[in-house]
């Protein structure tokens, strides 16, 4: 930190040190991005070296590490004629949390210029990662670069410093129902992720033998296997969204045309990812799987109960319903956005469209959670009426 201070001060005419706040901010942003990039590069290089049959050069390993950092931030990677668009959501959260930590530790002035300099420093290191990624046979998709280079640092900065004053004033002018439903809706989105992840854990435990068999066939070695496990844990929330989509009705696909829904699971060519072996075997599923729809309904009821705490007890039913439904819409849209950012492609051909359909998932969750929310509002009205 002393090195940054010494590099960002200049003596004035009387010999005193004058700080250059924009340069301090830019260096802080660059250091934050560099910390995450170096960590990911190290893990990828060590994992590549630990794989006995690996043939990639050091340069290609560095390129793969840089592309992995961009992928964790929401970027997309072009591989031949296909596109890898699968961002582990926990990895994305880790990068945003690191950006928050860096923004909190950097001495920033309370103005947009200083904040912009911090984001600019972060993006500059991101540009270096883009160049390093060209060392790999794959390449970053240009249209996706704003996510890891700009959106991630902006989210971290907002998390650390809060909304700017002008934006905070605008938020105070938003409809009251939206302001009351925002926090319950975001908690509902987190609850939906947890619910789906729990379904995933149950599926993995039921089919642990198949998962272990695929893991062993990969022959990744001790360290490589550990990295593989960590990557699957980072993607657990993505797969949890797939499980939640199964509960909501739209289902998910693990290869082109192979859809798993309440009614049946279709066969297809699976990518060699151990956790995917936990999905149901091809064929008709038992009728009891239709009862999974009760999970989104219960989630909507939970969101509504939280939203009603933000409303005066004797408020009109319309006011309570508006707050509850606003929370439901926030949760449904947030989960769909996470699904879209998480992506659904592992290359071309049969793996070009996998995962849960974000639009259908948002619609199904809005309807099913809305039913649960309205049931809670109706019960609240009945209790007060008595």
Average pLDDT over residues 32-48: 88
Is residue 18 over pLDDT 50? Answer: no
| pLDDT at residue 375 tops 50 | yes
The residue-averaged pLDDT of 303-320 equals: 91
- pLDDT on residue 8: 53
Is residue 17 pLDDT above 70, yes or no?
Answer: no
SS3 107: coil
CA atoms of 202 and 207, how far apart (whole Å): 9
Distances (CA, A) of 241 to 182, 298, 304, 357, 362: 20, 16, 21, 10, 11
Distances in Å between the Cα of 134 and the Cα atoms of 216, 221, 307 are 32, 27, 48
Find out whether 86 and 345 touch, Cβ atoms under 8 Å: yes
Per-residue pLDDT of 186-225, as tens digits, reads 999 999 999 999 999 998 898 888 888 887 777 766 766 7
DSSP characters over 110-178: SSHHHHHHHHHHHHHHHHHHHHHHTTSSSEE-GGGTHIIIIIHHHHHHHHHH---HHHHHHHHTS-HHH
The whole-number pLDDT of residue 258 equals 78
Residue range 13-24: mean pLDDT, rounded: 62
Asked if the model's pLDDT at residue 321 lies above 90, the reply is yes
pLDDT of residue 351 exceeding 80, the answer is no
Residue 47 has pLDDT above 80, yes or no: no
Q: Is pLDDT at 337 greater than 90 in this prediction?
A: yes
**Which of 5-9, 111-115, 139-143 is predicted least confidently?**
5-9
CA dist 311 and 299 (Å) reads 19
- Higher pLDDT among residues 120 and 351, named by residue: 120
d(CA 327, CA 334): 10
Per the model's pLDDT, the better-predicted residue between 252 and 297 turns out to be 297
pLDDT higher than 70, residue 11: no
Q: What is the pLDDT at residue 287?
A: 84
- pLDDT tens-digit readout, 75-99: 999 887 788 888 899 999 999 999 9
Residue 19 has pLDDT above 70, yes or no: no
The sheet carrying 258-260 orders its strands as 252-255, 258-260, 264-265, 283-284
pLDDT, tens digit, 9 for 90 and up, residues 159-182: 998 887 777 788 888 888 899 999
Mean pLDDT of the chain, nearest integer:
85
- pLDDT of the residue at 338: 93
The mean per-residue pLDDT over the stretch 49-65 comes to: 73
Task: Please report how many Cα atoms fall inside a 13 Å half-sphere around the Cα of residue 55, on the Cβ side.
Answer: 1
């Amino acid at each position: 930190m002393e090195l940054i201070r010494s590099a960002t001060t200049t003596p004035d005419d009387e010999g005193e040190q004058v700080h250059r706040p924009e340069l301090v901010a830019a260096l802080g942003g660059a250091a934050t991005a560099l910390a995450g990039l170096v960590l990911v590069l190290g893990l990828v290089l060590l994992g590549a070296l630990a794989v006995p049959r690996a043939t990639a050069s050091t340069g290609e390993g560095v390129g793969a590490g840089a592309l992995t950092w961009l992928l964790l931030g929401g970027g997309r990677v072009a591989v031949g004629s296909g596109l890898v668009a699968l961002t582990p959501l926990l990895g994305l959260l880790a990068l945003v949390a690191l950006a928050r930590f860096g923004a909190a530790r950097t001495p920033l002035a309370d103005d947009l210029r200083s904040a912009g300099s911090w984001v600019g420093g972060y993006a500059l290191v991101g540009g270096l990662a883009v160049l390093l990624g060209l060392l790999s046979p794959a390449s970053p998709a240009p249209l996706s670069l704003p996510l890891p280079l700009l959106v991630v640092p902006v989210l971290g900065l907002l998390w650390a410093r809060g909304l700017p004053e002008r934006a905070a004033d605008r938020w105070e002018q938003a409809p009251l129902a939206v302001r009351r439903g925002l926090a319950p809706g975001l908690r509902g989105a987190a609850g939906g992720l947890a619910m789906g992840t729990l379904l995933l854990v149950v599926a993995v435990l039921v089919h642990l033998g198949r998962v272990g068999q695929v893991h062993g066939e990969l022959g990744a070695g001790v360290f490589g296997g550990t990295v593989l496990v960590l990557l699957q844990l980072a993607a657990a929330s993505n797969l949890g969204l797939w499980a939640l989509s199964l509960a909501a009705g739209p289902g998910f696909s693990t290869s082109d045309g192979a859809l798993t829904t309440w009614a049946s699971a279709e066969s297809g060519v699976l990518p060699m990812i151990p956790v995917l072996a936990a999905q149901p075997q091809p064929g008709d599923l038992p009728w009891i799987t239709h009862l999974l729809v009760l999970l989104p309904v219960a989630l909507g009821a939970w969101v509504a109960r939280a939203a009603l705490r933000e409303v005066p007890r004797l408020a009109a039913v319309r006011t309570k319903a508006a707050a509850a439904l606003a929370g439901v819409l926030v949760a449904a849209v947030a989960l769909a956005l996470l699904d879209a950012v998480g992506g659904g492609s592992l290359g071309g051909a049969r793996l070009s469209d996998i995962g849960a359909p974000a639009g259908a998932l948002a619609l199904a969750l809005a309807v099913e959670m809305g039913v649960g929310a309205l049931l809670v509002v109706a019960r609240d009205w009945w209790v007060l009426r008595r």
